[in-house]
Amino acid sequence: MAKMNFGGVEETVITREEFPLEKAREILKDETIAVIGYGVQGPGQSLNLRDNGFNVIVGQREGKTYDKAVNDGWVPGETLFSIEEAAKRGTIIMCLLSDAAVISVWPTLKQYLRAGKALYFSHGFAITWNDRSGVVPPKDIDVIMVAPKGSGTSLRTMFLEGRGLNSSFAIYQDYTGRALERTIALGIGIGSGYLFETTFQREAISDLTGERGSLMGAIQGLLLAQYEVLRENGHTPSEAFNETVEELTQSLMPLFAKKGMDWMYANCSTTAQRGALDWMGPFHDAIKPVMKDLYESVKKGEEAQRSIDSNSQPDYREKLEKELKELRESEMWRAAETVRRLRPEGV
């Protein structure tokens, strides 16, 4: 493990150079990796592991998702099984179900957690709030985590491009004395760019804060607020969308992703620079109290409970689709459809 400096703070990271794929394969050569769930993270992680030469099987209930696994080359009865059969066969059980599904499947899954096995997660939710989820693992197994910092689709796409999506890792329980090497080998195997150390609790809290904050919730709120103000003042949908979303995603985000916000500022007009520097303070001051409230809600388990209560309702999917439909059919995102069609082909 190497110590790296992040903004003046030292952190432990593991790179593919110091922990090569060959080493990962050697560590896991006698393991059967059972990927439980083929939804969001399952395809990317399982396919990357398979392509990297690991012994992988998939456990998934029959239905559309099962059919997708078949289309991806998993063979029923050979590498594709029921959840129960895959959990029985696996020595490492990668639980990649949604948080709600983990809770519902847990009574079944825990029957197959024999001594010495490893239980793997890509999110700390179920373990961090196990007083609410009921997911309390037995003491005679390893409980580990590798959490890619992005979707399973991004993990797979970047893998196919020869790149890697960064991941955090954590050890909750080390029964075998091999939990760390198992974790890092899996992290390398799924195609992580580099791995940084965390805990189940820190990952869960930061992840829920990020999803509700800058990654999804806050960004939609910010974009919509600016779009609405422009529209209310006579700007057309095309103009409002281009100035609010299109320029951000297509022009500016690649710049600050590449070299940072200062570099992006330096590559904009002097008028834009001045305005950005003047207004970032008021935005920060307005938003930070909301972020503090959000963090406290996550830390107290209120967000976890809200998610559990909502996702456990029998009509959850119908309610979710209704809310997403309203978002999709809002003027701003209908304008987006037209803008995307007008982009040059392939952009």
Q: Are 195 and 155 within 8 A, CB to CB?
A: no
In whole angstroms, what is the distance from residue 84 CA to residue 44 CA?
A: 21
Residue 83 Cα to chain centre, angstroms: 22
- Cβ neighbours of residue 327 closer than 8 Å, sequence gap 6 or more: 220, 333
In whole angstroms, what is the distance from residue 138 CA to residue 133 CA?
A: 15
Q: Does the active-site annotation cover 284?
A: no
In whole angstroms, what is the distance from residue 158 CA to residue 45 CA?
A: 12
Q: Are 127 and 121 within 8 A, CB to CB?
A: yes
Q: What is the dihedral of CA 133, 323, 43, 347, to 10 degrees?
A: -150
Catalytic hit among 33, 48, 122, 123:
123
In whole angstroms, what is the distance from residue 332 CA to residue 258 CA?
A: 28
Catalytic site positions: 123
